[in-house]
A and B are shown apart, each in its own frame.
Chain A
Amino acid sequence: GAVVSQHPSWVICKSGTSVKIECRSLDFQATTMFWYRQFPKQSLMLMATSNEGSKATYEQGVEKDKFLINHASLTLSTLTVTSAHPEDSSFYICSASQTGVGNQPQHFGDGTRLSIL
């Protein structure tokens, strides 16, 4: 149980392109989804928190116009990297929580490797 699927798992695109990443909870409804990015040999960095039906809350230093998050249903959240540049190349990981509170663990997808040429 508690399976989270991310798609695509790997994408390469040209600079200036916008890229959409999907995060789906397959066997549970996710009130809250989280988006992280991870650079090589580093830890995960929380980018934003997304609650179904409301605007995402971004962490300090994360550009909301650059990283568009939509959480239109209890099983799907999307992250769109707009006008991507090489410095946006990273490993993007989503997680989902049934309740969005601390006593319920987050379940993570397997990440999306984004490479911008």
Chain B
Amino acid sequence: LAKTTQPISMDSYEGQEVNITCSHNNIATNDYITWYQQFPSQGPRFIIQGYKTKVTNEVASLFIPADRKSSTLSLPRVSLSDTAVYYCLVAQGNTGKLIFGQGTTLQVKP
């Protein structure tokens, strides 16, 4: 399973765009890139998933370059409630298994 590397922590201010980059050098052809958000004492919440290029939904965008060795989660205008841990994960294509890394703790300040 491909391991991921992402910054341990990031700070931002309300209303700003936040970009969190993740590297996954050993990603396999059948693997998918998935991002989750976790608040304390809750289960992770699915944000977005992609295979290549760009994916956008109502809360975020995911940018994946052609070599797929990295990805960037973009949160357009963060609010205080976006303070959470964000996990970048590679979902194994044929089993769906996820191996969680340490995640990025995002602190949004007023």
- Residues of the A chain whose Cβ atoms lie less than 8 Å from the Cβ of B36: 108
> What residues of B have a CB within 8 angstroms of the CB of A93 in the complex?
43-44
Closest beta carbon of chain B to A23's beta carbon, Å = 10
Residues of chain A in range 41-60 having any CB-CB distance to chain B below 8 Å:
43-46, 49
Residue of A nearest to B42 (CB): A110
Interface residue total, chain A, C-beta cutoff 8 A:
29
Please give the distance in Å from A79's CB to the nearest CB on chain B: 14
Pick from A4, A43, A49 the residue with the most CB of B within 10 Å.
Answer: A43
From B46, which residue of chain A is reached at the shortest CB distance? Answer: A105
Write out the residue numbers on chain B whose beta carbons fall within 8 Å of the beta carbon of A49. 95, 97
Q: Which of B17-25, B71-79, B99-107 contacts A (4 or more CB under 8 A)?
A: B99-107
Given A108-B44, A111-B41, the answer on whether A102 and B32 have CB atoms closer than 8 Å is yes
**Cβ-Cβ contact count across A and B, 8 Å cutoff:** 72
CB-CB < 8 A to A67: which residues of B?
none
User: Could you pull out 29 A-B pairs where Cβ atoms are within 8 angstroms?
Assistant: A2-B46, A34-B96, A34-B97, A34-B98, A43-B101, A43-B102, A43-B103, A44-B44, A46-B100, A49-B97, A93-B44, A95-B43, A95-B44, A95-B98, A100-B95, A100-B96, A101-B93, A101-B96, A102-B92, A102-B93, A102-B94, A103-B49, A105-B34, A105-B46, A105-B49, A105-B91, A106-B98, A108-B44, A108-B45
| 4 A-B pairs with the lowest CB-CB distances in the bound complex, closest first | A108-B43, A102-B91, A102-B93, A44-B100
**What residues of chain B have their CB less than 8 Å away from a CB belonging to chain A?**
30-32, 34, 36, 41-46, 49, 51, 87, 91-103
